Amino acid sequence: MRFRRIVLVFLLVGGFLYLTTHLPRSLNRASLNHVSLFGSHAPDSGLELTEAEAAPAYDAEEQNNIAVYKRVLPSVVNITSTTLVYNFFYGTVPQQGQGSGFILDKAGHVLTNYHVVEGANRGVEVLLSNKRRYAAKVVGTDKVHDLALLQIDAPNLQAVTLADSSELSVGQKVYAIGNPFGLNGTMTRGIISSIRDIRGAEGAPIGDAIQTDAAINPGNSGGPLLNSRGEVIGINTMIASNGAEQSSGIGFAIPINTAKAVLADLTRYGKVKRPSLGISSYGIGPDLASQMGLAVDSGVLIQKVVPGGAAERAGLRGGNQQAYVGNMAILLGGDLIVAIDGQEVTDPQDINAMMDKHQAGDTISVTIYRGRKQITLKLILGEAQDQST
């Protein structure tokens, strides 16, 4: 029995020596792993991977995506606002909200949405892409346009480049960079889906708002919407989510030209000195114009002029005869505005859009119908008061 064991050991050792010394040199280690000592092939259970010889080159589109991200990311910031609120169980407690913003200049001015910092009675903090945090001062706010200008004291800031948003096209490629759900430095892309007038969260009109299918979620508010060159064309502000509180492929951005129009006032006065005609008005359509016997099919009927306002100084007149449209009382007999600076006016929203392109003190021409007589007057815009256009 012992002799058999010794013989078996010799056979095994001898077999191993034979395999390692007599197999062809071309048989590598991987092949040996598939050879059984008993002369048959074991089942192939090894893992064989196919790997690229080198990192693949990026295509042109990918290269542009990467270039835009690297160029703009250092200019995008995360904004945290802290507000003290009353809790029934715990008393006064801090509550934090988050949004995005972007650096306008080396002096540390940061543009964001008003609703990102609204009510922040315990401070606003800005987090840069390099993870450094800075306390921010609120320089000025514009609730109507949902804009806020902040400032931080930080070195070596990299500012964005602002584009002209007046010549945008549906189908144009866009990028959004921000902090959705607190995920800093997130970039999404899409196209301009439409350019339309909408109403913001507070009900104020946003003219020529940029609609996009680039994913915009809570936390993106105040961040930049970019063109394919990495230039800012808009400020991401809201989403249409049907209550889902997340992207549904319909997001909106305030056009950057709207922000340009108010930045000087925000810096100088801390608020926007909004221009105004100094009137209250009512939009007239074809049906109502026909019933009233007006000379044209549409326009803006002046109801009242603000005492001492721009319209009164220019000699415009309000209504003096009460009538009803449904249950709404209106005043007839006032001037009908049909154009401003040669551009047709059909409703009060047209006037609001034109005011966004001007400042208080600017001179404009106003074309009206007084009865059936057309008159064009020069008017120096005043500063808006509550309830006036």
Q: Which of 211, 218, 219 is nearest to 250 (CA)?
A: 211
Task: Name the active-site residue from 81, 193, 221, 276.
Answer: 221
**221 catalytic per annotation:** yes
DSSP per position, 293-341: T-SSS-EEEEEEE-TTSHHHHHT-----EEEEETTEEEEESS-EEEEET
Task: Name the active-site residue from 146, 265, 350, 356.
Answer: 146
Q: Which of 382, 298, 312, 389 is nearest to 344 (CA)?
A: 298
CA distance 94 to 175: 34
Pairing state between β 336-340 and 173-178: unpaired
**388 catalytic per annotation:** no
Beta strands in 164-249 (DSSP E): 173-178, 186-199, 205-212, 224-226, 232-239
Unique residue bearing structure tokens 């919407």 = 225
**Pair of tokens at residue 271:** 């608020």
Unique residue bearing structure tokens 């990299």 = 158
Q: Of all residues in the chain, what percent are helix, strand and coil, respectively (each to 5)? A: 20, 35, 40
165 touches 259 (CB < 8 A): no
79 touches 101 (CB < 8 A): yes
CA distance 116 to 39: 75
**115 catalytic per annotation:** yes
Task: Name the active-site residue from 115, 145, 165, 388.
Answer: 115
Helix count and strand count (H, E) for the chain: 8, 22
Active site amino acids:
115, 146, 221
